[in-house]
């Protein structure tokens, strides 16, 4: 009689989101893509024929200067029904009323060396008659530098209750990395649509127009903006050719166009543009999403964090969090990032003779952290999904007292960590200044410093404990 096969319970991989995505994509990172919504819409053999197929107009979108070397040059050709220049003059948008900041100086922001934590940022009540879409729900937490100089970063959060209706957003200041925490984002772009759910990210580069719909209702999330350069995959070094975020798992949209025009002012579209940290709006009588075909390597993309292949220590010690870098925007200083996007995904921890939580730290980089779901391993209380923390440059930080107590007494058998959890970090070489909105926010946890005050003092000059490493490990 044949014996029954042995079954074992396997830990679940982080939740994948493909099943809920209605769109198709092209796979790869940094590829030269081609996509057409009508067969034959892309010109053959040249970019700007005298007359484009289907009577379209050719328009180039440059993400780098013309003369940047081939390895770093980024641009795309868009074939659209109407050139994007067909709009009315720009006017200031909600001057003095929006919550977006671009230049971070003593007039607009303030510095603080303190460790700061925010409870989940409040989403406006859905019953509020003044609907808040992605643009109006965008709030700057802090940043550094000046977009006019193409130097610096900004950290924003968004809390929205309504879809964008007949309007698009365009950021002339830099690239945006979107991290939804609550509610899916259905994003229309000039290159095609993307559905981005919590546990996914999207990158929309400088100059690309997009519109955000909220299929799940009220939504909240985080935004990292870089003023110089573009996000790229980190170098793997001795890791080899595979691991971390693999290029094949990034997805770029397929062309889809909207041939909609309006002769009635009540049905016109508007394009809100962020330029040098200020918002401007221009009206137009057609949809900005009328690109029938495109080709190039300058295009938006999305990525599911469940696809990240984590690397970790399999012997002893807690490795540096840079090993969890998904994307980086490099600076002119080798090894130092304008900004890194780092995650702390579900994984095994097996280090022996080791304090396994993140170590106590003072960093020459700034660390802004958020939580998409679950419980962060170093602070299971108070650091909540939809909230955030900021540990400024050289600000001491580390696990809280409860985590220390558990970590120094626990059994060190191999174990799972961060199941059903996804925390992330925006790490930057810049010192961040905070906006008044962030400093005075009602969700700021003014008792945050207390989480470290009860860490026990166990020093005893009369007792030396030697913990020899097991030579068999």
Helix (H) or strand (E) run with residue 153 in it:
strand 151-160
Cα dihedral across residues 321, 225, 449, 396: positive or negative: positive
Residue 397 designated active-site:
yes
Q: Which of 59, 367, 377, 427 is catalytic?
A: 367
**DSSP secondary structure code for residue 321 in this structure:** G
Q: Which of 16, 258, 318, 375 is catalytic?
A: 318
**138: Cα within 13 Å, side-chain hemisphere:** 26
Q: Which two tokens stand for residue 151?
A: 């130097």
The length of the chain in residues reads 473
* Greatest C-alpha distance within the chain: 87
**Ordered DSSP codes for 372-416:** EES-BTTB-SS--TT-EEEE-TT--B---HHHHHHHTTS--S-EE
Closest CA to 372 of 191, 184, 195, 227: 184
Cβ neighbours, 10 Å, residue 148: 14
Residue 266 designated active-site:
no
In 162-300, DSSP assigns E strands to 167-171, 175-182, 185-189, 192-196, 200-204, 209-213, 219-226, 251-253, 269-275, 278-284, 291-296
Helix (H) or strand (E) run with residue 329 in it:
strand 325-330
Q: Which of 232, 361, 381, 462 is catalytic?
A: 361
Return d(Cα 296, Cα 88) in angstroms, integer.
Answer: 28
Per the DSSP assignment, residues forming a β-bridge with 309 are 244
Q: Which of 98, 139, 295, 391 is catalytic?
A: 391
Interior CA angle at 370 toward 302 and 231, to 5°? Answer: 40
Residue 318 designated active-site:
yes
Buried b / exposed e over 195-224, threshold 16 CB at 10 Å, is bbbbbbbbbbbbbbbbbbbbeeebbbbbbb
Q: Is 178:196 a contact under the CB 8 Å cutoff?
A: yes
Q: Which two tokens stand for residue 86?
A: 């067909």
Return d(Cα 41, Cα 80) in angstroms, integer.
Answer: 10
Per the DSSP assignment, residues forming a β-bridge with 188 are 193, 211
Return d(Cα 249, Cα 179) in angstroms, integer.
Answer: 17
Residue 361 designated active-site:
yes
Per the DSSP assignment, residues forming a β-bridge with 318 are none
Return d(Cα 75, Cα 80) in angstroms, integer.
Answer: 16
Return d(Cα 304, Cα 199) in angstroms, integer.
Answer: 6
SS3 label, residue 39:
coil
Q: Which of 225, 295, 397, 427 is catalytic?
A: 397
Positions annotated as catalytic residues are 318, 361, 367, 391, 397
């Amino acid at each position: 009689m044949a014996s029954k096969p042995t079954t074992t319970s396997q830990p679940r991989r982080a939740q994948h989101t493909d099943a809920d995505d209605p769109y198709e994509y092209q796979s790869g990172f940094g590829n030269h893509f081609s996509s057409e919504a009508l067969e034959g819409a892309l010109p053959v053999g040249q970019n700007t024929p005298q007359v484009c197929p289907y009577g379209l107009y050719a328009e180039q979108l440059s993400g780098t200067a013309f003369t940047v070397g081939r390895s770093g040059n980024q641009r795309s050709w868009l074939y659209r029904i109407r050139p994007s220049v067909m709009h009315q003059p720009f006017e200031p948008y909600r001057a003095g009323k929006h919550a977006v900041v671009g230049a971070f100086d003593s007039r607009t922001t303030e510095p603080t060396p303190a460790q700061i934590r925010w409870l989940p940022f409040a989403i406006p009540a859905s019953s509020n008659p003044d609907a808040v879409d992605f643009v109006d729900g965008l709030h700057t937490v802090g940043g550094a530098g000046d977009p006019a100089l193409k130097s610096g970063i900004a950290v924003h959060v968004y809390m929205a209750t309504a879809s964008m209706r007949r309007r698009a957003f365009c950021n002339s200041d830099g690239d945006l990395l979107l991290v939804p925490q609550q509610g899916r984002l259905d994003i229309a772009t000039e290159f095609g649509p993307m559905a981005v759910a919590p546990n996914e990210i999207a990158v929309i580069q400088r100059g690309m127009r997009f519109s955000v719909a909220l299929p799940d209702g009220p939504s909240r999330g985080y935004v990292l903006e870089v003023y110089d350069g573009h996000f790229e995959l980190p170098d793997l070094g001795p890791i080899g050719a595979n691991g971390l975020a693999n290029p094949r798992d990034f997805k770029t949209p397929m062309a889809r166009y909207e041939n909609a025009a309006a002769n009635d002012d009540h049905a016109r579209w508007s394009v809100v543009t962020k330029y040098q940290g200020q918002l401007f709006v221009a009206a137009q009588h057609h949809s900005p999403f009328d690109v029938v075909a495109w080709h190039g390597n300058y295009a938006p993309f999305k990525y599911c964090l469940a696809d990240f292949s984590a690397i970790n220590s399999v012997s002893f010690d807690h490795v540096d969090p840079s090993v969890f870098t998904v994307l980086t925007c490099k600076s002119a200083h080798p090894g130092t990032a304008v900004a890194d996007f780092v995650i702390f995904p579900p994984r095994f921890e097996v280090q022996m003779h080791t304090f396994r939580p993140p170590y106590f730290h003072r960093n020459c980089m700034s660390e802004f952290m958020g939580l998409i779901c679950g419980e962060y391993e170093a602070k299971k209380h108070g650091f909540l999904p939809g909230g955030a923390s900021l540990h400024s440059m050289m600000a001491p930080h580390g696990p809280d007292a409860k985590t220390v107590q558990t970590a120094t007494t626990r059994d060190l058998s191999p174990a799972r960590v961060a199941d059903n959890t996804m925390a992330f970090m925006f790490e930057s070489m810049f010192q961040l200044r905070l906006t008044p909105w962030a400093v005075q926010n009602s969700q700021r946890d003014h008792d945050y410093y207390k989480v470290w005050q009860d860490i026990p003092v166990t020093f005893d000059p009369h007792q030396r404990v030697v913990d020899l490493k097991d030579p068999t490990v």
